[in-house]
Amino acid sequence: MVAEMVPPPRFQGARFETYLPDPNQASQATAVEVLSGFAASIDGGTETGKRRWFGKSPKKAAPKGPRGVYLDGGYGVGKTHLLASLWHATPAPAERKAFGTFVELTNLVGALGFQQTVRTLGDHRLLCIDEFELDDPGDTVLVSTLLGKLVDAGVALAATSNTLPGKLGEGRFAAADFLREIQGLSAHFRPLRIDGEDYRHRGLPEAPAPYDDETVTRTAYRTPGASLDDFPTLLEHLSKVHPSRYGAMCDGIQAVCLTDVQAVPDQSTALRLVVLADRLYDREVPVLTSGKPFDELFSEEMLRGGYRKKYFRAISRLTALARDAGPLVAH
């Protein structure tokens, strides 16, 4: 499981040199400079790292100050690209670096157990956490404790999120009850703000309008490796599959074709759809639909609530995938 924690296919080629800062947003160029320096400062770990059979290996003194950077910014400013670039630029072998989403990290703890996760990741030089979200008190305590242990072991940390570390949990639960854990987590990171507009729409035309059912169905049948589903049926199926399995569910799919797209009925369904959108985006799977456009998936109440940044990110990513699906219809 840990060996599979690498940047997703979309970002396998991501490098600092391929990140294109917006000339009107100085913070983007600053982020490249800061992260390049951070990568160079991480010990590459050229020693074997083998433990002694008899006696304990000498323990390194934990570095002082923040052991990580926290990329904060709106959706579509290139945070995941920068995080993947950091992973690639860090002078350590791939087996000593880990890259995963926040959900994948909590799933890892669930599968291995807390202590085994600490032992496994504690030998790493770098842990990159994408889409850092704290949606409940249990995750707050779990991740705060885990990262504290990893910092003590000398692991460098990097994370992306749409929320500053000191604001984690706001609008989700009674953050005041867990203020100590949130503040302790924040102390591990140097916040790095990245401003800008969504690059997925910068200078590009709006996403194509949804197609009719016949076009979507015909395209699915003539596209090798495409799936074809009724949207309400898909949502029902997602409720029966753990979100940690959505990535595997997308593997091998060359295109997703959906008919009768509707507004999602409730928040639980909406959050599952967000995870699916992320996994499809990671794998660069185009999405062709009929029914409602993607900007009508979530209600106004959802877009004003505590999960609004997740929903806006999903709309942005699905819109990009809908644009990618255009050539499938043209052929």
Is residue 18 in some structural domain? yes
pLDDT tens-digit readout, 44-92:
654 444 444 444 444 444 444 467 898 887 767 889 999 999 999 999 9
Phi–psi pair at 189, nearest 5 degrees: -120, 150
Whole-angstrom distance, CA of residue 70 vs CA of residue 192: 6
Q: Encode pLDDT of 207-242 as tens digits.
A: 678 999 999 999 999 999 999 999 999 999 999 998
**pLDDT for 188-200, tens place per residue?**
788 888 887 766 5
Percent of the chain beyond pLDDT 90?
50
Ranges assigned E (strand) in the chain: 68-72, 97-101, 126-130, 156-161, 189-193, 226-230, 255-261, 287-291
User: What's the number of domains the chain is made of?
Assistant: 2
Is residue 98 within 8 A of residue 2, CB to CB? The reply is yes
pLDDT tens, residue by residue, 126-169: 999 998 876 666 777 788 889 889 999 999 999 887 665 566 55
Q: Is residue 285 part of a domain?
A: yes
Alpha carbon distance 34, 217 (integer Å): 48
Say what the pTM is: 0.70
Domain boundary among 165, 180, 200: 200
| Residue range 96-137, pLDDT digits in tens | 999 998 888 888 898 899 999 999 999 999 999 998 876 666
What's phi and psi for 32, nearest 5 deg? -60, -45
- Is the same domain home to 192 and 116? yes
Task: Report the number of secondary-structure helices (H) and strands (E) in the chain.
Answer: 12, 8
Is 253 found in the same domain as 195? no
Structure tokens, 55: 């006696």
Which structural domain range is residue 107 located in? 2-42+64-200
Does residue 209 lie in a domain region? yes
